[in-house]
Structure 1
């Protein structure tokens, strides 16, 4: 009799999980469709340059979250990949005459190469030592950009032409440029989603939860960490190269340590370890910067106050707290982080 009761209970639990998973899938699909529709019509209601900046930084934050949220590695040097790709893309497009799509790919490839070099040294350490090594290497790259001839020092690379996508779509047209940036953003998000839901991504999550157990199971933890680091760098580079075309310049601001701090802030505000949390955090920070820039309020102080409030009230980040709430659990979001 006890076996029958136990089997019945297990069946009912499995059935409940299946129902929650199905509900979560339908909810996710609905949110994705609504979000995509809003992005498609957004230029009719909001300033396209603002929207493009938001999409670039949202992709940057999601790329950073791939390393912090799903691998458990806190990097203080991600501005290297974002700003480095901006310089690479701006240089090859302006000086070598490359088309925009090739320029962005060159930027992403350059960022991946920088990630391979930086990751090779950084993954040998853990915790705060890992973070400090990434910061130190990032500062080295900052001073390289300050002194290198192709970056033009403090002036940066300016007047970068947007060119023609595939040779016939004029990206000087703001509407065309917006939908190009939207396409890059969606491609980046699909890559991230596929990455974290692949067997490789599952192993990264196991490393984040218990690295020693992953080692005992025979996984080469250092190799997986390096792979995640390079992928995160490449996607950050994709965002940086796109940003260079949007604003038509690349400067030292893109590789400064403040940029690394900014993407950490975006990710923490939205919720680490969630797919859409960094997007929400990036939107919040970019919106504050955009609408407070012309006011009398100091943007950094307001941003700091918002961050303090979120840390006190939303320990998991805004989206993370929603997932952990009763409504989030009912919708099954706690199983689809």
Structure 2
């Protein structure tokens, strides 16, 4: 009997203890090159464009934390992204708080929304979960349309960027850019640490075999809700930064199309990879930016790119590279 109990506890320990992939010299070198490129980018590329890309990449990474590592498909992440944009913009413009306090207020609002929506949605699975998140997100959209503080279809405009910590003037483009970049890098480190923590390992075990995780005594609902709230909070950070970068918050950020865009970005890059959503966001934002002034319909071109990627790159662009012989040789592994 004692041997059986010991075996049971051993299984419970082993299940989530998937060893994280080490950061070999190739990975460290690539990260260093990428960071150096982002630091130097404003000297060659329009800073507003890169800041938009970083905000959406951050949004996609937050969404990937939920779908890629927990296996939950949400159709309502625009509520957290756009809601935080409204909360941050209102706090900075109407209450006169500093930008960092405004962003914290936006993240807190997104976390609260995530707690409420997640508490209702995680009781269902699969398409039912996705539809509940979509329905509740649409409810928040109509709230944003009617609420006085959002100014309806006009949105919140002329939002001041202010001074970060009372010292750094964010109205200076360079200061704003490196603030966004610093937040982006910090969040990537937080997500990496979270994914490779014991909590993250349990989320992966829930994704792979929920019933087995339940049988081993894990409170699956609590872990799902925790992941949902964290994903919502980080999506809120992306929305708050976007509101400061563009100095406005509008209904566009809370529409169901925005939820569709972040799903598209994550699928294109590769679900369950750290940098896949970044590549996906970069591809979508670049297409939108350069096709906006052309005669080509942006949505059709984006749809065609998505179709090609789904048919040819089943795991996403980065996921396919990880699964390729070169990717495996360099030490990458697609764990999805």
Tell me the distance in 2 between the aligned counterparts of 1:300 and 1:25.
39
In the other structure, the counterpart of 2:218 is 219
Query: Offset of 1:24 from its aligned partner?
Result: 5.6
Counterpart Cα distance in 2 of 1:136 and 1:336 = 31
Q: Pairwise mapping of residues 290-309 of structure 1 onto structure 2 (< 5 A)?
A: 290-309=289-308
Q: Which residue of 1 aligns with 2:10?
A: none
Q: Secondary structure at the match of 1:70?
A: coil
TM-score, L = length of structure 1: 0.92
TM-score by length of 2: 0.93
RMSD between aligned residues? 1.2
Following superposition, the deviation at residue 191 of structure 1 comes to 1.1
- Please name the residue that 1:17 is paired with: none
Consecutive aligned runs of 4 or more in structure 1 exceeding 2 Å deviation: 21-24
Deviation at 1:189, TM superposition (A): 0.9
Matches within 5 A, 1:127-276: 127-276=126-275
| Per-residue CA distance 1:110-130 (angstroms, 9 max, x = gap) | 101100000000000000000
**3-state DSSP class of the match of 1:75?**
coil
Question: Is the 1:24–1:333 contact (alpha carbons within 8 Å) kept by the matching residues of 2?
Answer: no
**Contact (CA 8 Å) 1:154, 1:252: kept in 2 or not?**
yes
2:93 matches 1:94 = yes
Q: 1:276 to 1:98 in 2, by over 3 A?
A: same
C-alpha distance in 1 between matches for 2:184 and 2:79:
20
**Partner residue, 1:80:** 79
Query: What stretches of structure 2 of length at least 5 have no aligned partner?
Result: 1-19
Distance 2:21 2:290 in 1: 40
Relative to structure 1, the CA distance from residue 335 to residue 280 in structure 2 (aligned partners, 3 Å threshold; closer, same or farther) is closer
Distance 2:287 2:207 in 1: 32
CA contact (8 A) 1:115 1:229 kept: yes
1:5 is matched with which residue? none
* CA distance in 1: counterparts of 2:192 and 2:178, whole angstroms: 21
Gaps of 5+ in 1: 1-20
After TM superposition, give the deviation of residue 22 of structure 1 in Å: 8.9
C-alpha change, 1:56 and 1:34, in structure 2 (3 Å) is same
Residue 150 of structure 1 aligns to a residue in which SS? Answer: helix
Is contact 2:273-2:334 (8 Å) kept?
Answer: no
Cα distance between partner residues in 2 of 1:108 and 1:189:
16
Equivalent pairs, count: 317
Equivalent-residue separation in structure 1 for 2:21 and 2:229 (angstroms) = 34
Task: Spell out, residue by residue over 1:18-58, the C-alpha distance to the aligned partner (whole angstroms, 9 max, x if none).
Answer: xxx99862111011100110000000000000000000000
Deviation at 1:270, TM superposition (A): 0.0
Equivalent residue for 2:317? Answer: 318
- 1:284 is aligned to 283
